[in-house]
Amino acid sequence: MDENNNRNGNKLPKNTQTIIVLIISGVLMLTLVSLMNSWIKSSTTKYISYTEFVEKMEAGEVAAVRVESDRIVIVPKKQVSQMVEFTYYTGFGVDRTTLYEACAENGVKFDVPVQDSGSAILDFLLVWVLPIVLMYAVLGFFVRRMTRGGGGMMGVGRSNAKVYVEKSTGVTFKDVAGQDEAKESLTEIVDFLHNPGKYVKIGAKLPKGALLVGPPGTGKTLLAKAVAGEAKVPFFSLAGSDFVEMFVGVGASRVRDLFKQAQQMAPCIIFIDEIDAIGKTRDTRYGGNDEREQTLNQLLSEMDGFDTSKGLLVLAATNRPEVLDKALLRPGRFDRRIIVDKPDLKGRLETLKVHSKNVLMDDSVDLEEIALATSGAVGSDLANMINEAAILAVKQGRNVVSQADLFESVEVVIAGKEKKDRILSEKEKRTVAYHEVGHALVTALQKDAEPVQKITIVPRTMGSLGYVMQVPEEEKYLMSKDELEARLVTLLAGRASEELVFDTVTTGASNDIEKATQIARAMITQYGMSEKFGLMSLESIENRYLDGRAVLNCGDATAAEIDQEVMTVLKAAFEKAKRLLSENREVLDKIAEFLFEKETITGKEFMEIFHEVRGDNKEKEAENEKADTGVAEMQELDSASAGQQEQTQEEDTNEEQRD
């Protein structure tokens, strides 16, 4: 640790800030005492001329005169009688003999006190030294109270790490679901902490650090706690922002203090959440941050300095691995990058089971169906859905959670609660009904679209006036060009329905247009699905685990051509949606009217009306009837053939008997 400190820029001792504060306090105290003395003197001092003094003395107003080292004190008679010594400080310059003669002529007492060196020293000590000593003692007392436990002034240099031992975490790998690959990587680390001998024997070294990377809510912090719980070792937990303060050098001091504590309690685990707060790339093009960079330098130094054989492991989590400094990510510091991504269907099902194990549910609950309906949800979303379903069941006076509660909770998390105070006019309600049925009908008419689960025109708190809930039939990791084009047609079908029925458009399609534009642009710039640009990457993704913002990697002229290509793709999808709805106008009107009355319909009700109006059931009945007729005719033919065969056999038998 001393070597690390020496490498850290020849910094002043740890208590430098305290010493500086005390010195400044002493200077301020001296100044304050001096000002107070000056104020006291000025409040009791009146400067008069020698002529005024003589006049007052001849008038019998002066009782005594005392000559001091820096002043002449005049005591008036009226104040002597009142036992108050109000002093007049004279500013006239006369010799002592002349002053004595004037006093003798007027019968005024004249006094020249003898200066005692002891009393002068005592006065100095009482007036100047004692107040300073007292102030120093008071300040020292408060400073010791504030810095108790070390770490500098007010503890700003002390680590704020929260220490969790095995009993405190209470989390193991059984509590983490849907992240099997991440758990497998971390299980090896736990095994090393438990059995370091077999790894050291073969020459293997424990990784110094592991970086957990993934979107928010996927369980990175939970995984870190599970590692500590499985290994049964102390767990130091901090956020990256805990290191950063307004004082330069405080973050580095906290890093030193943290690793010092950790080495004393090894084997143990240090977990730094949101490490990007201190681990950003050191870039001075736009002005650096000395405090953050010193903190990062100290962290790099500490990770190089500790001995892994003692069982000290550093875990960190971030949503933005692309902004981290390259020196932090090299082998020997964070040796492993563990991806904690959104769970797949199997992972979502396991996560739902973990979060619902203590929730009472009835026999109608099918968690697999809920997992299929929540594609893209992370662990925190799924936990919230289970909790919302339980709350909804209690509000409705039931003791168990039903499947309907779970589906309603999915809608609450995705679209918000029903906004009961928002009452639409009849015209707006009908417009929303046609808009949503337009989406659903085009979905049913396309073979590459996901089936409809529910249609509603009840407003939600997240801003939607209605929506169509679609549930995929299976989990997909790839999407074909046909599926993306079908998605575009579905998104633009709401606007197409409004234009077809009302011959006008509203603002209700803004979110649909935004999503459709994003898909069309990605098809052209990222997926290579444009005949004009071919297999050319024109965009890159930044902050992949957060907003996934796309940044163009082309010139202005190419960007303008991309915009034209996006417009062409969207226009073709809109025209197709409008054509499909025109060809099925009767179905559109029928379902929209039913939705207008009911406000919410299920996917089953939607498909029943769809097949009924299109005549699909009648055609099937006709086909079945035709098939039944064909079967009956075949049976009659078989019977006739069998009868004829029996008659032939009987005739042959009679002929044999005659012979």
pLDDT tens for residues 464-510? 888 898 878 777 788 899 999 999 999 999 999 999 999 999 999 99
Q: What is the distance between the alpha carbons of residues 180 and 350, in angstroms, rounded to a whole number?
A: 10
pLDDT tens for residues 397-439? 999 999 989 988 888 888 778 777 777 889 999 999 999 999 9
Whether residue 201 is found in the same domain as residue 124? no
Relative to beta strand 62-67, strand 109-111 is parallel
Classify residue 76: in a domain, yes or no.
yes
Q: How many CB atoms lie within 10 A of CB 6?
A: 10
pLDDT for residue 1: 39
pLDDT for residue 113: 62
Query: DSSP string spanning 186-197?
Result: HHHHHHHHH-HH
**Would the pLDDT of 645 be above 60?**
no
pLDDT tens for residues 239-275? 887 777 654 567 788 888 888 888 888 788 888 888 8
CB 276 within 8 A of CB 240: yes
CB 53 within 8 A of CB 67: no
Examine the fold and report which residue of 288, 319, 339 is the final residue of a domain before the chain moves on. 339
Q: Average per-residue pLDDT in the chain?
A: 78
- C-alpha separations of 656 from 472, 645, 646 in Å: 73, 17, 16
pLDDT for residue 172: 81
Tell me the whole-structure pTM to 2 decimals.
Answer: 0.66
Whether residue 451 is found in the same domain as residue 401? no
Whether residue 287 is found in the same domain as residue 329? yes
Residue span of the structural domain in which 381 resides: 345-415
**Would the pLDDT of 141 be above 60?**
yes
Classify residue 402: in a domain, yes or no.
yes
Q: How many CB atoms lie within 10 A of CB 135?
A: 18
The residues pairing with 271 across neighbouring beta strands, listed in sequence order, are 237, 315
Sheet holding 268-273, edge to edge: 162-164, 235-239, 268-273, 312-318, 209-213, 336-339
Q: One of 274, 293, 411, 436 is an active-site residue; which one? A: 436
Q: Which residue do the tokens 């997992």 mark?
A: 371
What is the number of structural domains in the chain? 5
Whether residue 360 is found in the same domain as residue 216? no
The residue type of 367 is L
Whether residue 307 is found in the same domain as residue 244? yes
Whether residue 561 is found in the same domain as residue 595? yes
Whether residue 631 is found in the same domain as residue 512? no
The kind and range of the H/E element at 149 are none
Angle at 280 between CA 274 and CA 285, to 5 degrees: 155
Nearest to residue 301, comparing CAs of 423, 191, 208? 208
Q: What is the distance between the alpha carbons of residues 582 and 579, in angstroms, rounded to a whole number?
A: 5
Contacts of 258 (CB under 8 A, 6+ apart): 159, 161, 236, 238, 270
Reduce the DSSP state of residue 110 to 3 states and report it: strand
pLDDT for residue 176: 84
Reduce the DSSP state of residue 417 to 3 states and report it: coil
Residue 436 is among the residues annotated as catalytic for this protein? yes
Whether residue 374 is found in the same domain as residue 484? no
Whether residue 602 is found in the same domain as residue 475? yes
Q: What is the distance between the alpha carbons of residues 416 and 433, in angstroms, rounded to a whole number?
A: 19
The more confident residue out of 274 and 151 is 274
Whether residue 560 is found in the same domain as residue 581? yes
Classify residue 8: in a domain, yes or no.
no
Alpha-helix residue ranges (DSSP H) falling in 459-584: 481-502, 510-525, 556-583
Classify residue 518: in a domain, yes or no.
yes
Classify residue 281: in a domain, yes or no.
yes
Classify residue 1: in a domain, yes or no.
no
